Amino acid sequence: MSPNHSYQIDPARLPAKLQPLAEEICAYFRELPRLLDEGKEGKSVLIHGSELVSVWDTLEDAMQAGADRFGLEKHMTQPIDSRDLAGLGEYFAVQPQRATA
């Protein structure tokens, strides 16, 4: 996330095409700065609802863990990518209010 922006991480701000995973995408965006600070770029997360369940070395490992733990229940397996800060940030960024005299 950019220090020059404030964000409102609200599932309703995502476009319709991403709504099926809106809760999981919000959890991912919320956790992304910490994951990147910890050097986990390129690894993959398993997210269930708004909970980041675990971090895996490969996407295949995350998918296997997701299938084992959640089966057909909704979950997301996502590679950690710093470019998503800007890409998803466009949806969540809040325009700063101008000061009034």
Partner 1 sequence: MISIQGEITPQGALVNLEIGFKSTTVKQLRQSGQTIPQPVRCTALIDPGADLTCLDPTVLAPLRSAGLTHQKFIVLNAPSLGGLGYVIEYVISLRIVHPDLNPQLDFLAGNHPIAEKDLKVLGYEALIGRDILSKCMLILDGPSNRFTLAY
| CA 100 centroid distance within chain | 35
The single residue among 37, 71, 96, 98 that binds partner 1, judged by CB under 8 A, is 71
21 binds partner 1 (CB under 8 A): yes
Interface with partner 1 by CB under 8 A: which range of 4-12, 20-28, 31-39, 50-58?
A: 20-28
77 binds partner 1 (CB under 8 A): yes
CA separation for the pair 66, 51 (Å, rounded): 13
Residues 47-66 close enough to bind partner 1 by CB under 8 A: 59, 63
Sequence-separated contacts (24+) of 19-22 with Cβ below 8 Å: 20/74, 21/74, 21/76
What residues line the site for partner 1 (CB under 8 A)?
Answer: 15, 17-18, 20-21, 25, 59, 63, 67, 70-79, 83, 87-88
